[in-house]
Amino acid sequence: MKKTLALAAAVALSALSTNAVAGQPFVRAEAGHSDVEMSVGRYRGSETDTAVTIGGGYWFTQNFGIEGHIGTLYSEYLGNDFDVDLVTLGAGVVAKHNFGPDNTGFFVGARAGLARVTLQLREDHFDVVDDESSVKPYIGVTAGYDFSRRWGLSLNYDRRKADIDGVDFDIDTITFAGEIRFK
């Protein structure tokens, strides 16, 4: 894990150049569908839910940046005022290529980094009774349209994995996102 983080930091630092001064901070909101597959020994199960994340970062160049995100991937009411949630917190690198003039038009991209996936048991929708976490790499691809240098919309696919108390999770999300860039 430390080697992956060091590699991501080295790649981010290598992208810094005179173009870094002309970079753009951004914020992004994503909402869509998550498919959560769980396995314990021979038992395998699958659930679906709504995924919602918010994030932000910095485009160092028109094609390379860093990002962070936080959000919920799954939530289920268990009864008796108890909920179970899968929450993600992550950071990584992003890359994209625009096909239009001046960084506008259609684009494709990819992202990768580390995500901390936390399984939470909550009471009364707010009080966390218990939580367990796992930190593993995440990957994703995106395609979309930048209407201007300041904002765009995209369709994203991301894959996260977690191993929490002997339960393996494979979480696939398909989300629709809006991104606003500043400067």
- CATH assignment of the domain containing 32: 2.40.160.20
Phi, psi of 6 (to 5 degrees): -65, -40
Task: Provide the domain limits for residue 76.
Answer: 2-181
Task: Name every residue whose Cβ is closer than 8 Å to that of residue 143 and which is 6 or more positions away in sequence.
Answer: 106, 107, 108, 109, 154, 155
Q: Give me the number of domains the chain comprises.
A: 1
* DSSP category for residue 2: H
58 contacts 24 by C-beta, under 8 angstroms:
yes
Q: What is the C-alpha separation between 55 and 12, in angstroms, rounded?
A: 18
Tens digits of per-residue pLDDT, 15-44? Answer: 444 444 468 999 999 999 999 999 988 889
The two tokens of residue 24 are 């753009």
* DSSP category for residue 101: G
Average pLDDT over residues 97-107: 92
Tens digits of per-residue pLDDT, 120-173? Answer: 777 776 666 677 889 999 999 999 999 999 999 999 999 999 998 888 999 999
Question: Which pTM was predicted?
Answer: 0.81
